[in-house]
Amino acid sequence: MYELEKSAVPDWQSTQNWWFPTAVNTNCPFCAVLASFTPQSITYDNNRKTLGATSKCPSCGETVYFWVINPGPANDSSKRGDGTLAIFPAPQRPRQPIEGENLMPARIRKAYHGCLGVYNAGVWSATATLCRRTLEGIVADLLPEPERKGGLAEQLNKLSESVDLSKPLITLSEALRQGGNIGAHFDLDKEPDQETAQAMLDLIEYLLEYVYTLPKMVQALNQRLTALSKKHSGNSN
């Protein structure tokens, strides 16, 4: 049993003289799709002071169980939404942004959040599309404007000429150019599944960390260490 936030409930209804959700919006524990679950067969357990219900995921059809522990009495509108809302099995935790996201350029960060949003909603085709757009945005951000010509593989190859970016980008550009591995999954004509969408998002996050977040985080840490070194040197005098 896993406790859910009350924000997952769009509205409450009077059921057997108690307040219970009309629906629960959460990620399915089985298919991970963000879905609206409609409680069915609601039953009150007087000994345990709980209202329990079942619901089928509208996406995968698996059965999920919901409870409200110590629900509020329906004859008191101020008790609407009282009690603890719980689900079983526990939903898959939404994927969170990588550390240092605030260090990315605003438009890259916005594109990355778009990838996360559709991935957490379980829309794999949209995840693939937005991952490719984010990759194109990263390349456009790093390349000088005169060199932003040709396909994605060609542009990545131009980037790989940079010493600082060579290792990951050479690997990526080779895969894209050969049409295998990574390149095949970035083909918008192919229908991606969850594993493909996850792998694509992993790749985007590796690049974002390598290009934007880690260098600036290391630079900030170096500045802190330099400041501490000067402070300690001053104290020793």
pLDDT in tens, 126-141: 888 888 889 888 888 8
Question: In the chain, what is the straight-line distance between the N-terminal and C-terminal CA atoms, in Å?
Answer: 60
- Specify whether the CB–CB gap between 137 and 111 falls below 8 A: yes
- Specify whether the CB–CB gap between 33 and 60 falls below 8 A: yes
Over the stretch 132-176, which tens digit does the pLDDT of each residue have? Answer: 889 888 888 888 887 788 777 777 777 766 545 656 666 665 555
Q: What does the block give as tokens for 145?
A: 């404007």
- Name the pTM for this structure: 0.65
List own/partner pairs for 171-174 with CB under 8 A and 24 or more apart: 172/203, 172/207
What is the separation of C-alpha 35 from the centre of its chain, rounded to a whole number of angstroms? 15
Mean pLDDT, all residues of the chain: 84
Q: What does the block give as tokens for 30?
A: 């089985």
Query: Which amino acid type is present at position 40?
Result: Q
In 79-143, which ranges are E strands?
Answer: 84-88
Query: Which amino acid type is present at position 52?
Result: G
